[in-house]
Amino acid sequence: MALLDVRDLRVSFDTDDGTVYAVQGMSFSVEPGQTLGIVGESGSGKSVSTQAIMGLAPGATVTGEALLEGADLLTMSEDELRHIRGRTVSLIFQDPLTSLHPLYRVGAQIAEVMETHAQMNRKAALERAVELLGLVGIPEPKKRVRDYPHQFSGGMRQRVMIAMALALEPKLIIADEPTTALDVTVQAQILELLGRMRKDFQTAVILITHDLGIVADVADDVVIMYGGRPMERADVRAAFIEPHHPYTQGLLQSIPSYSGRMGRLLPIKGYPPSLMRQIQACPFAPRCPQAHDECLVAPPPLKPVGTSPGHLSACVLPSDAVGLPAHDAQATPAEAAVGGVEP
Amino acid sequence: MSTSTQGDLAVDATDAQVLLEVDDVVKHFPVRSGALIDRTHAQVRAVDGVSFSLKVGETLGLVGESGCGKSTLARLITALHPVTSGHVRFRGQDITALNRRQMRPIRKSVQMVFQDPYGSLNPRRRVGSILSDPFSVHEKMSRAEVKRQVQELMARVGLSPEHFNRFPSEFSGGQRQRIGIARALALRPDLIVCDEPVSALDVSIQAQIINLLEDLQDEFMLTYVFIAHDLSVVRHVSDRIAVMYLGKLVETGPVEEIYSNSRHPYTASLLSAVPVADQAFRTARRERVILTGDVPSPVNPPSGCRFHPRCPKAQAICATEEPPLEHKTGDPIGHLTACHFPVNPGETLANASRDAVPAPEAAVGATEGVDQ
Ligand SMILES: Nc1ncnc2c1ncn2[C@@H]1O[C@H](COP(=O)(O)OP(=O)(O)OP(=O)(O)O)[C@@H](O)[C@H]1O
Ligand SMILES: Nc1ncnc2c1ncn2[C@@H]1O[C@H](COP(=O)(O)OP(=O)(O)OP(=O)(O)O)[C@@H](O)[C@H]1O
Ligand code: SF4
Ligand SMILES: [Mg+2]
Ligand SMILES: [Mg+2]
């Protein structure tokens, strides 16, 4: 049984200007010990999906199913969810400042997690907090546990979040951009730490990141999101070598190559879809160089593509049409404007 | 033999091309502790004597370990923190000595994109109004005109104008980051210090923002200090690179020179550790040097060369004498390195010897073949 199985998740927010349909049918699953990467367009619903299933999207309307070891998180009470968030699932938020209290010392905040959920006494919890800060590479952790969050650098705060998530040895860690503020060396250290959790405790990890290099390095499978929906899912190798969905292909072509290709970068042309209505077509169609009429009829469902087992893509193109097109192949997007936002 | 080139660093302030001159700036933060009375008993030496200068229209990439002082340096340049000592000159004028009123015109010319976008946005104000501020403070414009300008700016950073009335909490991480960028661009400043400006963006929007920054640079001769951990982004945008380690610059030079011929062992290990998603996922087997050993502390920096406890090349002298940031024989002009035993072309750090080294347990860690 999958550790977490999310089916047809939909999340919307009511705002002054109308309803925002942030997630419009997200599905994915994670097995124990597996690392699932979630990548995709900024604003495509990665954070909202994962926060909504943990009951952490205030003001949101959430439908669908999110089965954690068979039990649906979306029907649980706040108390049950709090218990799960403490013990079974840890979340590392994208924005450390929103989840660290500015007026409490960092050590006390880490210790509190263990006092509440692991019935540790204050002294033991503080000692463990120092140890955890050391594990995530904070120099002189004994001295620095007494600091307040504002006295930490961006990357140090991020590591405080990671230390908190590791404190309870959860079954699942949802890490939302956990290494954006970290240099490559510390990043490698953190990723290794997550890898060790996985080996020692069969911890599963959902890793949300824009850094495709990290995904390539540590994830088993990857889900690529766009406009509130999964566009493609594959094991990392297939996703990078045989991408099927034109969005995935466009994304891979935007990478500023480390080998130092100069000249202009190649962003995907056009604008992301408006989420002020439910999109009744392929959300990527307005920007897709290969879009045709069929794409505008309904959102294409995920279907098996390519040769690698489990490789799915939500695109109408022939299922064997995998792989990156030859270099400068990024043509002008089709003129069709479905739900696209004009500048 | 190496020739000292302090002259390269101390630029003639009358040179019209020089926009910014950072002259031996230092920032120490007090560390307080004590059971009964809070007492200062130590200092975090966040920035500890940094000098460089920037020409109009130039982009300096600033890289280094988490916690090494990049954001603090950024705040010194933008006068958001007072310096402990040293000088920051903007167009020849020392801004560390100015009062609030004298600072006002400079505040407009020097903008910052903050590393933590959420922390820098007022949660109770709508984004449209946050972005209108710069226009209403510094220029006389009608409300309709301000709104038009703001929406145009939002579109340029890839935000939908329909987001005009939203609060910061109603945005995704990457959208907030772009609000920060739009706010900095609003005033057409001369210098923008970008602290991790694209770290929360997918590669496509990242490319769009980088292209935008480059276009504006060409159009208005903008000057950037660009801080980022993503070394391929830094390589793409920068003309010059400055590498920081524990509050000091350890190497600086033209971008391609640093990437292809790094001389400082820290720079070399930094560049070797990057995970890469090549377009074809066919990254060559690279040699990766992962630094291990005690992470040094800015409260108690190591003696001599601050990198010596983790350096694969360190010798006895490295623990006692601080190497100056200087030109090394054979390097092109403008490439400066602070190291007693710079890396030679073709040398691999993994096999470097550490003969007479104190604290050997902190040596460089595993060399991993990365096979992808
Ligand atoms: N409270 C809210 N009210 C209205 N809209 C919201 C709210 N929170 C998020 N959104 C919108 O929902 C969409 C999805 O947001 P989400 O934070 O999940 O994006 P993301 O994929 O994590 O992006 P990023 O990579 O930039 O962090 C965005 O377009 C965002 O503007
Ligand atoms: N207001 C402050 N009070 C005390 N210490 C501080 C303060 N601001 C920064 N520091 C300390 O100064 C050092 C440098 O921090 P800084 O934020 O400049 O690092 P950074 O290079 O930007 O790191 P990152 O890449 O993680 O953002 C850190 O040890 C940090 O804890
Ligand atoms: S060789 Fe010596 S001076 Fe050079 S980086 Fe290593 S420790 Fe520092
Ligand atoms: Mg997010
Ligand atoms: Mg910083």
How high is the pLDDT of residue A160?
93
Supply the pLDDT for residue B133: 85
Write out pLDDT tens, residues B276-301.
554 334 443 345 566 666 668 888 89
pLDDT at B367 over 60: no
- Judgement on whether residues A193 and A247 belong to the same structural domain of the protein: no
pLDDT of residue A313 exceeding 80: yes
Q: Say whether both A25 and A111 belong to one domain.
A: yes
Q: Is residue B187 part of a domain?
A: no
Whole-number Å distance, alpha carbon B318 to ligand 3 midpoint, is 6
Residue finishing a domain among A223, A256, A281: A223
Mutate to test the interface with B, among A183, A187, A191, A193 (most CBs of B within 10 A): A183
**Tens of pLDDT, residues A162-197:** 999 988 889 999 999 998 888 887 888 888 888 888
How distant is the Cα of A35 from the closest Cα of chain B, in angstroms?
Answer: 17
Question: Which of B96, B121, B27, B58 lies closest to B252 in space, CA to CA?
Answer: B58
pLDDT of residue B289: 60
A185, A60: one domain? yes
| Residues lining ligand 2, Cβ inside 6 A | A 150-156, 181; B 29, 44, 46, 66-72, 115, 298
How much is the pTM? 0.87
Q: Can you give the pLDDT at residue A255? A: 79
User: What is the predicted pLDDT for the residue at A97?
Assistant: 73
pLDDT at site B151: 92
Nearest Cα of chain B lies from the Cα of A104 at a distance, in angstroms, of 14
Give whole-number Cα distances, A80 to A31, A46, A97, A115, B295, in Å: 22, 24, 26, 18, 40
Higher local confidence (pLDDT), B57 or B281: B57
Task: Write out the residue range of the structural domain in which residue A49 sits.
Answer: 4-223
**Cα-trace Rg, chain B:** 22
If pLDDT is split at 50, 70 and 90, which confidence band does B139 have?
A: low
The per-residue pLDDT for range A142-155, each reduced to its tens digit, is 888 999 999 999 88
Share of chain A above pLDDT 70, in %: 93
What's the mean per-residue pLDDT of chain A? 88
Ligand 3 centre distance from Cα of residue B310 (Å): 9
Number of folded domains in chain B? 1
pLDDT at A190: 87
Mean pLDDT of A308-324: 93
pLDDT, residue A102, reads 87
Specify the pLDDT at position B222. 95
Cβ atoms of residues B315 and B356 within 8 Å: yes
**pLDDT tens profile A85-123:** 988 999 998 887 778 888 999 999 999 989 988 889 999
In this structure, the answer to whether residues A276 and A319 fall within a common structural domain is yes
Q: At residue B164, does pLDDT exceed 80?
A: yes
Residues A248 and A219 in one domain: no
Residues A264-291 pLDDT 10s: 788 888 888 889 989 999 999 999 999 9
> Which of B80, B118, B229 best tests the A interface by mutation, with the highest count of A CBs <10 A?
B229
A242 and A302 within one domain = yes
In this prediction the ipTM stands at: 0.86
A219 and A306 in a single domain? The answer is: no
Number of domains in chain A: 2
Please indicate, yes or no, whether residues A15 and A103 belong to a single structural domain of this protein. Answer: yes
Identify the pLDDT of residue A1: 81
Q: Which residues in A lie closer than 8 A to residue B288 (C-beta atoms)? A: 188
- Do the beta carbons of residue A183 and residue B229 sit within 8 Å? yes
**Mean pLDDT, residues B253-269:** 93
Domain that holds residue B279: 258-372
Indicate if A62 and A76 belong to the same structural domain.
yes
Mean pLDDT of B331-349: 91
* Residue pair A195/A189 in contact by the 8 Å Cβ criterion: no
Assess whether A45 and A65 both reside in one domain. Answer: yes
* pLDDT (average), residues A238-250: 93
Question: What is the domain-level CATH number for residue A47?
Answer: 3.40.50.300
- The percent of residues in chain B predicted with pLDDT above 90, rounded, is 56
